[in-house]
Amino acid sequence: HLTRQLAIARRLPKGVTPVFATMSQGFAVVQQAGFEVEYIPFVTQSGYDMALWDVWFADQLCQIIDNHRVSGLVFDGVTPFGGLIEALRRRNNISAAWVRRSMWR
């Protein structure tokens, strides 16, 4: 996911500053590429159950959106988490896109 997102970030027009929010423990790759990154531990690393993690995840995303003045969000994954959907509901003034693998084998 990170390499796909890095490819997108490198091709953004001037004036668009990407900020990565990732659950990947490989987040240092993003830093080394010169982009800002926020690491959010996945549920299995958090110690929370899924329901509590979704609430916490939504809170984390909302803080990132607010702190970085995010105007657009790109999700790269298999299925959007409940916390992501909740964050987008709370911050309904931002655009969102879903990048995902093709559906064929």
Report residue 6: phi and psi, to 5°.
-65, -40
Distance CA 49, CA 73 (A): 25
Helix or strand (DSSP H, E) at 64: helix 50-68
Tokens of 10: 């490198």
pLDDT mean across residues, the chain:
93
Distance CA 88, CA 85 (A): 5
Q: What is the mean pLDDT of residues 10-15?
A: 94
Residue at token pair 């970085």: 68
Give 52-91 pLDDT, tens digit per residue: 999 999 999 999 999 999 999 999 988 899 999 999 999 9
Picking from 65, 24, 59, the residue whose alpha carbon sits closest to that of residue 41 is 24
Extended strands (E) in the chain: 19-22, 36-39, 72-76, 95-99
